[in-house]
Structures are given as C-alpha cells and as structure tokens.
Structure 1
Amino acid sequence: MRIAIATDAWAPQVNGVVRTLQSVTAELVAMGHDVCVIAPDQFRTLPCPSYPEIRLALTTHFGVGRRIAEFGAEAIHIATEGPIGLAARRHCLSRRFLFTTAYHTQFPDYVAERTGMPADWFWHYMRWFHGPSSAVLASTPSVEAILRARGVGPVRRWGRGVDLDLFTAGRAGHPALANLPRPVQLYVGRVAVEKNIEAFLACDVSGSKVVVGDGPARVALARAYPNVRFLGALHGEELASTYAGADVFVFPSRTDTFGLVMIEALACGTPVAAYPVTGPIDVLDPASSGMDENLGVAIARALACDRAAAAAYGATFGWRRSAEQFLDALIPQGEGKKRLSA
C-alpha cells in the first residue's frame, strides 16, 4: 500500500512525535509498504513563535496536495495540527478523500501554558480539525477517554514502542555520569515550560540531576540550577548509555499523552518516577516505577525498584505492533481504498 504521512514534526526536531513517526515508517517499509512523508524540510519555513527550534512550513493545500497526488497515495494520515496538517486536511476534504489523524500531544494544554488563555478555547480547534477524520489515533486509554469526553472521535488505539536493539539492559553507562554523586536522576526530552522540568530540578533529593535535551527553557534553567548537568541533545548509543547509567529516570510532565522516553529508560533497566497523570498511569507498572503527587516520594519509590523488572517490562514494547495498529486504522472497512481510487 502507498501511504502518505503529512506531519509538521520531523527531523531535525527531536521529540517523541518524530521518533514515533520515524520508527513506524521504518516498520511499514519493512512490511512492504511504500511511505511518503510530507514534512517541513520540503518547504520554506519560519520559526515557531516562542519556540524557534521548531520550523513551521510555509505551504498551501496545493503544495501538499501535489506531493500526495504525485506519490499516488492509497491512504493518507495527518499526524499534526500545524500548517502541513491543515494543508493536507483541506486537500483531502476538497477531494472527498478519507484520512486518519492523531492526537500526539496535549495541544490545548501546551498552547494555554504558552499564551495564558484557557485550554478550553483550544478544544474548539481540536474538534474542528479532527472532526472529518475517519479515525483519530490515541496512544493510551486515558487519552481515548479525554478525546471522547471532549467530543473528538471516532478514536482508535495506536500504541508506542521502543527500538529494542538500541535500548537494552546491561550496556555500560555514559562516561559523563560515571563520577557523579549517586543516585543519578535523569530527565530526557524537550527543555520547555510545558514539560514541568523545574518541578524535578527543585526536588530536594540527594545525589545528582542530569538533563538531556534542548529547548527554549534550557538557558534559564541552567542559570537557575547551576548544580544540574545539562548535556544537550543526545542520540543513538550515547542516549541509550545515558539511560543505562542513571539510577532513576524522572518524568515530571503533566501534559504528555504517552511519554516515549519512559519506556526507553525502562528498556535500559532504569526505573521511572512520575506523577500519577495521563501518560504514566497508562504506561508504567508498579514493579518498575514510582508514582506520587510528591515527586520526591515518587523518586524514592522508583529507586527501590528492581532494574531487572524494569528491563523486562520495557522489553514488552515493540514498534511492529504499533505499526500494525497504525495500519489497521488507515482504511476502515476498506472504504478508504475505494474512495481514493474513485
């Protein structure tokens, strides 16, 4: 099958959405499908207000539609609600093509955090954007429930996975962590206000705190917390060895829909500490994590967990199942293929 994926999130961005799309695309290709990713690197871009590391494409439904038509797409997935997603949506509606969408991030909460306006205002946009979709893909039961309660649907499950060849237990820890006072507490992800990182950095827990990632809040946080090690963005073996060398992975976000970094850490044998909120409550299990409204208590509980149990649980997440779920949702009852070829 020829599958077009329209997304505003793609390399060189580093986040869970990009890793998910890259990993699922690789699985789909390995399964014999042709995939065309329509992303910002194919257009002129401008920096996103308040987040210049993210580039927004300057395009129209004509530009996106031409790529879809030239590829000869038999199924279309719109991954994000930004300019490329909007252009793909308009193209599909103008030609009565079926398409799926995904709810990757708590977009209303993120925008509310950055603008100071109520999140409820932005749910109107979510209902409008996803309304024509033949299926809205959600990562966990909690996210499904949120979408249904907000009038967004029909909802289908699309879980996440881990590169189990890269993120494995037993590997050596990163040299940058070797001589730090223990326990080493690690955060990996965007360094941005919506990730609630300061709740972790302000936590009164002995040992060392390490932040891996980059983003608009990095300079201010590094200035406010000079004892924290900021390593910047790491990838591949370096990232995996950083997970492996930490004693606990701390996930302070209250707004993520899944938290891919949590299962990467678990697969490396590192227990996770988090708040009991959407994302962690669906993903984590008690044997390899600590959850509490007091993040210091959550960290203490996670430090008491067995690393072998964490690795065993993390190893249950694979990308092939995620790709199969994605594929199953693309053409409900075969209608998409008939409509697209009409």
Structure 2
Amino acid sequence: MSYSSPKLHNAMWPGLVGKGDGEGQEPPISLEKMLDLTAAANVNGQKFEGIDYFLFLPHTNPEASDDEIKKIADLIAGKGFSVGSLVAPVWPGTVGDSAMGDDAQQEKFLSAVKMACRIAKIFNNHGVRKYGVIRIDSAEFGVGKWRENPKANTARIVDTFKKAAQIAADNGERLAAEGEICWAGMHSWKDMLDVLEGVGMPNALGFQADLAHTYLYTLGYNAPEHALLKEGYSDAEFWAAYEKMTDALRPWTIDFHVAQNDGTVHGAGSHDKTGKHCRADDPNGKLDITKASGYWLKDAAARGIKHICWDGCMFPNAVLETPDTWNKILDAMIKVRDAHGW
C-alpha cells in the first residue's frame, strides 16, 4: 500500500562525519552538493521530501547570525526540501564537550544544545521546518573512562541530559539521544535504557533508533554483559532478541534512521567501535531493512514521528557521489513506508 507518511528524509552529515584534512581522511562534501545529490534521486516519480541536518562547520557555523541561518533555510527550501531533525554540536572539537565531564564541560554541552534550539527556532519561523527533534549523545567517545565508575558516570550523564532536556522543553523542542555503541553510557541497549529512565522526561528526551547501530546492541559490542545473542545464532533467535530490544526502547523512540549494517564495526577518528553503515543493497548486509524497521515503527505516529531518515554516515565520497547510491537508498525507504506507513 502507498502512504504519504512518514516523510522520507536524507541526512546531510555523511558529507562531514569522518571527513576532514587529517591523514587518510577524505575532504568534506559541501551542503549544496549533498542537497543536489539528494534532489537528483528519483524512484518512479518519488523523491526525497526533506533533509536532516548537522549544525556544524563546514555546513553551518552554529554561532552564525540569524540572517546567515535564514539564507541556509532559503537554500534548503529552494531545493524543494523541508528540514526535520537537527544534530546539536555537542561533541568535543565542535562547541560542546562530554556530558560525563566536569562543570565546565557540562556547560559547553548545554551551550551546544542552546545553539541548536536557537537555530531550530529560526528554521521553524522561516517555515522550512515543521517537525523533527534535536539529536544529542553523551559526547564521550569510547567506554574506557565510563567503566572506571559506571554508576557515577551514568548519573553524571543523566544530570547533564536532564538540564539539556529542560532547555529543549523551554524552547518547544524535544531531544533524542542516539543509541550507538561508541557513546559512553549509551553503548548498550540496557545502559541506554538506564539513562532514559534516569532522566525520566519522556516529553522532552527520547531515543533515536538507527538500524545499523541498534543491530549491534543485540550482539553486545562494547557491553558483552548485555548481549542478547550468542555466536552461531539462528534467524529465529535473532528476531526474538531484536524484539526484546525494540520492545524495551521503542516506547522512548521519537526519531528513526533507516540504515544497513554488514556486521562489522568501523572506527574513524576518535570513535571507538562504531556501527558501520553500508549501502542499502550491500550483499553483506545483515538486516532485512523493511522487516527490522517495522519493529521500531509500530505506533510511530502516536509517538510524534513524522519522518524517517537514511543515515549513510562514513560512506566513502565515491559512494556518496554516485547517483545510483541514492536511488537504491530511496527505493529501500519507500519499501519501509509502504510496509509500515500511515
């Protein structure tokens, strides 16, 4: 069946994340180029309807003036897109810092959330943005430091997230914490649940589920004690484990990324064991994308989800700049919407 919701978005940050001028890194891809690649995709007349957006250089200076942000809004709208979810620049090296850190680091984290809320308001008032959340994470790469005192470190993340959630609520926004094995305190499905429940502000802080990252939750990467599967598992055992995980996290899920994972982990820069996104049609892909998406999208409309987004984070530039890549991705997303939309 054909549906009009959720809207189909593409992420702009694959042009930035893992890119740079460091040794072995590929150069960033400009915002306009990413928009053009997205706009060119077409599957039987269906096109991408919007984009999700990382609020950092070189695409955006998070401290840019209102007029500069309005020009970016004009550029995006001029390509025929809406803006959905925004990624707050909470990472060390952007304008933020660790949510697990000291008071000065916490203040930098909260400052990044305030910047994201300011830009969200400009986009909202412009009219280019009518839905979506602001994505955050613990901004603490790797789990080594967290393991030195898990209870105290999780409590610190919870405290930072509570303050951030209140900032978002005061600005009419919701935060979504990205479930990813490289983020301390969020590196397993159980630890992520502990943070969400610890904050206990479901109207202001929810969960962002990504198919590539949450797949690795079931296997216990970076948290073997919370693995739901053992080596050599069957297909039936996988889906039973997947259902257990999604049943726990789905009630918190307010933002959703369609993606594929080839079962490996892939680090770039200071990331530690981060889930590797691969192409929608990768022969090594471990997920039935359409089926897996259904576990997350049950009652999605009731949780305020109005769009879904493809995440091709850390794709090589040659893949990102190949038009066929985006047609196949768009086709996969259409299948998800046809199966689980409204």
Q: TM-score, normalised by structure 2?
A: 0.36
Structure with higher Rg: it is 1
Higher relative contact order (CA 8 A, sep 6+): 2
